[in-house]
Amino acid sequence: MHAPASILPLHIDGLSFEAGGALLLDNVSATLRPGLRTVILGPNGAGKSLLLRLCHGLLAPTGGALRWGAFCNGDEERVRRRQAMVFQRPVLLRRSALANITYALALRGVRPRARRVAEARAALERLGLAPLAERPARVLSGGEQQRLALARAWALSPDVLFLDEPTANLDPAASRAVEAAVEAIHAAGTKIVMTTHDLGQARRLADEILFLCGGRLLEQTPAATFFHAPRTPEAAAFLRGELVG
């Protein structure tokens, strides 16, 4: 059996978002291709989270459009089901770690229950969480909760995973565990699109950088080039720590 064709690439065509009379995202165009880890950088308030939320369909743009890959044929349900998002603060249900994943699999129509449990246990195992399977998700540490959110997203085998500052609240050890999980998810074939304020993390994880400033996309640049020789003065100032939101 062939794997279903990816919903990628995602073409972002002149995307804008206006609220309260302010243009918060201004005519952003980019193509997000499979395989590359895309890291979105920029100062506070640049519009990084907004761009992720628009791409994931949590917000509707006030201008422009998203076009998913050729095989989507306007199938919005398929586009929705083949992507996942992990937030700075993980959104977990008041259930066990295991049940958080089996519930997500049930919503995706995975049957029977025994298959959901087996897949959920495998997902926990991949992230080193198997011993915590029966523990209520909400009593897990912040780092464990974030890994659980990643395990749940990964269990759904998305074509693309959006991550909004996934290590913002974590200590260095927990951050490294999350980075290792992101690497493993990437290696398994899911496209990574993430925001971070941690430039070291961006250097470790990124294949390409989207640099946003004041709601405008100033660069879409291979990571090695961006950190070595950014094209715009704003990006150069940002890398020197001089450009703050």
Ligand X SMILES: Nc1ncnc2c1ncn2[C@@H]1O[C@H](COP(=O)(O)OP(=O)(O)OP(=O)(O)O)[C@@H](O)[C@H]1O
**CB-wise, 20 or 74, nearer to ligand X?**
20
Smallest distance, ligand X to C-beta of residue 59, A:
6
Q: Beta partners for 18? A: 23
**CB-wise, 88 or 157, nearer to ligand X?**
88
**CB-wise, 41 or 124, nearer to ligand X?**
41
| 116 CB burial (10 A radius; 0-12, 13-18, 19+) | buried
Rounded to 5 degrees, φ, ψ at 18 are: -120, 135
**CB-wise, 42 or 69, nearer to ligand X?**
42
45 scored as a contact of ligand X (CB under 6 A): yes
In the list 12, 15, 39, 50, the residue contacting ligand X (rule: CB under 6 A) is 50
Question: In this structure, what token pair is assigned to residue 148?
Answer: 């659980």
Distance between CA atoms of 182 and 42, rounded to whole angstroms?
A: 21
For the sheet with 38-41, list strands across it: 83-86, 160-164, 191-195, 38-41, 208-213, 216-222
Report yes or no: 196 and 212 within 8 Å, Cβ to Cβ: no
Shortest CA distance to 212 belongs to which of 45, 87, 10, 66?
45
In the list 10, 28, 39, 46, the residue contacting ligand X (rule: CB under 6 A) is 46
By CB under 6 A, which span of 40-48, 65-73, 74-82, 224-232 interacts with ligand X? Answer: 40-48
Please compute Rg for the chain using Cα positions.
Answer: 18
In the list 48, 82, 147, 191, the residue contacting ligand X (rule: CB under 6 A) is 48
In the list 28, 30, 42, 54, the residue contacting ligand X (rule: CB under 6 A) is 42
19-38 positions binding ligand X, by CB under 6 A? 19, 24
85-104 positions binding ligand X, by CB under 6 A? none
Smallest distance, ligand X to C-beta of residue 221, A:
18
| 80 CB burial (10 A radius; 0-12, 13-18, 19+) | exposed
Which residues touch 44 (CB under 8 Å, ≥6 apart)? Answer: 244, 245
**CB-wise, 49 or 221, nearer to ligand X?**
49
Q: For ligand X, what does the binding mask look like between residues 2 and 21, x meaning CB under 6 A? A: -----------------x--
**CB-wise, 155 or 212, nearer to ligand X?**
212
Residues that bind ligand X (CB under 6 A): 19, 24, 42, 44-50
